[in-house]
Amino acid sequence: MDLIPIKTDSGDKDSLRPREIRLSETAAKLAGIRTVEVKRGSPRIEGRLIGKVGYDETRLGTITAWMAGRIDRLFVSYTGAFVKKGQEMAEIYSPELYAAQSELIEAVKAAPGFSESRLDMIRNSAARTVKAAREKLRLLGLNQDQINSVIKRGMPSDHITLHAPLSGVVTKREVTEGMYLRTGSPIYTIADISRVWVILEGYESDLPRLKIGTEIEFTSEAMPGKIFSGKIAYIDPFVNEKTRTAAVRVEAENPGYTLKPGMYVKAVYRFDLSGYLKSEPPLLVPAEAPLITGKRAVVYVAVPEKEGVYEGREIVLGPRGGEYYVVEKGLKEGEMVVARGAFKLDSSLQIQAKPSMMGEGGAPSPTGHIHTSPSPTPETHSGHAAAEQEPEKPLSISPVFKQQLGKAVLSYTLLAEALAADKDKDARKSAEDVLKALASVEGSLLPATMQKEWETILESIKDSVASVRKGSDIAGTRKAFDIISKGIIAAVTKMGADAGKPLFELFCPMAFDNRGAFWLQTDQEIRNPYFGAQMLSCGEVRRKLSRDEN
């Protein structure tokens, strides 16, 4: 292959620096280059949480027996009934009540005779007796109107009617007609659900962004398209050691009782980053502008004094807020960065063996050359660039993280075994165990550039386990297992897992109408979780995961 020397333009006053590249106006249009100005702004982080609807504990009421007796009648005989405050709920027979009413009636009848006595002690004693008899009935649960009614009637009654202390829904009925009760025995529990609590699971990465009073929006699959809202009223000061989450309580109005206690919800919160780093709004670039690899982020900046010239520059990124990244270091306000087409510029620099996203350095050959025959391919040039650049060091993953993920993978294999054995009940329990095990994995041990990916995988698996809870048959569980498998395999492949056993990736080409699906096992004997006994051995072992992955 003949080589022809190229004359460099080092003597040109407009010669390019190692990180610069020049495009003509036509070339820039063909490459689709679009630049935007670096500005200051107030981006907002959008975080997602899951949780479920619960009762407002301040709006719960219990009807109890204030005396021993027997339930002779229940006016509300089933749970779920709506009742109003003051509504009759139950009638109790009580000999103790009869005796107390008799004492009051006798004391009232005797009072006029003692009131005519000349002795103050006797007159006061009669008044105290009436007062004590009235107080005794009050302590047995009678209100003043009922006590006055007993005096007016002049006849004791051995029955008392209990009334609802608040409006709401009967959530528990503890008795049946004919049952005998002790003092303090619960009869009904009533909940006012016109206002509910939504208990969300806040992960450690979410907690610094959540404050009392933060507005939360949430949705439920029971009402697609309807968005509910509420404010955070309480954040648990302790983190659950098993799930690594803290309870976040949102109070929400519930007109029409559309939110049912026990419903699962997905919530969204928004966190303003304007005061996160500095007192003034931070610098922002579009999320598609930086090329991120490992710990490095590269953007291409238009050089103002050189028309058509773009300079590659390493920057330090802060948190992402929606469609923008915060820039901590490396750019100035007013500079123009390439928002679209940066990868094409970077590829050109790689071909020229100049510094680029994939390598901090680049050593072009002292004597440039071109191929005369045969014509070079892009792959050939890429090979030259790769050979001349120092390869980037792989990210180091904490061994503790790998061990934690390995335990979660072993829980996942139990889920696969249950489905292979057609045991839906066991599979549902195993799915919950997988979620608990994953919740114990400390994502904060990962490099910062991988934490977002881990959160995405975790969110996908959470949604799948939630669908398992709501599913009614093993077919639905298997569909959810497919999504769980994708998340587990992605995590193991990219982050590594120390399961203490070898892990094998298997593939069934016939699953889901021949779409195919993957799963993991700790051995090579095929036990198909997608078909179970119907086609237990259908599938193939695709690979044994490498040491980096297992």
Pick the CATH number of 48-56+193-272 from 1.20.58.340, 3.40.50.1000, 2.40.50.140, 2.40.30.170: 2.40.30.170
Angle between helices 474-495 and 399-420 (to 10 degrees): 160
CATH architecture classification, 61-93+158-192 = Beta Barrel (2.40)
Q: Where are the domains of the chain?
A: 3-43+277-388, 48-56+193-272, 61-93+158-192, 95-156, 399-544
Return the percent helix, strand and coil in the chain, to nearest 5. Answer: 35, 30, 40
Spatial CA neighbour of 203 closest among 264, 246, 265? 246
| Fold designation for 3-43+277-388 | 2.40.420
Tokens at 39, concatenated: 């500005």
* Rounded average pLDDT over 13-25: 79
Q: Between the CA atoms of 358, 361, 363 and 364, what dihedral angle is there, to the nearest 10 degrees?
A: 60
- The 10s digit of each residue's pLDDT in 449-460 is 788 888 888 888
pLDDT of residue 346: 81
pLDDT of residue 274: 63
Respond yes or no on whether the N-terminal peptide bond of residue 281 is cis (omega within 30° of 0). Answer: no
Residue 5 has pLDDT above 50, yes or no: no
DSSP per residue, 47-71: EEEEEEEEE-GGGEEEEE-SS-EEE
According to DSSP H, which parts of 398-503 are helical?
A: 399-420, 424-439, 448-470, 474-495
Using CA atoms, how far apart are residues 125 and 111, in angstroms rounded to an integer? 9
Return mean pLDDT, the chain. Answer: 83
pLDDT of residue 358: 60
CATH architecture classification, 399-544 = Up-down Bundle (1.20)
Spatial CA neighbour of 478 closest among 510, 505, 503, 501? 510
- The 10s digit of each residue's pLDDT in 466-500 is 888 877 789 989 999 999 999 999 889 888 888 88
Task: Give me the amino acid identity at 171.
Answer: T
N-term to C-term CA, the chain: 45
Give yes or no for a contact between 482 and 530, defined as CB atoms under 8 angstroms apart: yes
- The 10s digit of each residue's pLDDT in 257-299 is 999 999 999 999 988 766 555 567 888 889 889 988 767 889 9
How many helices and strands in the chain, by DSSP H and E?
A: 11, 28
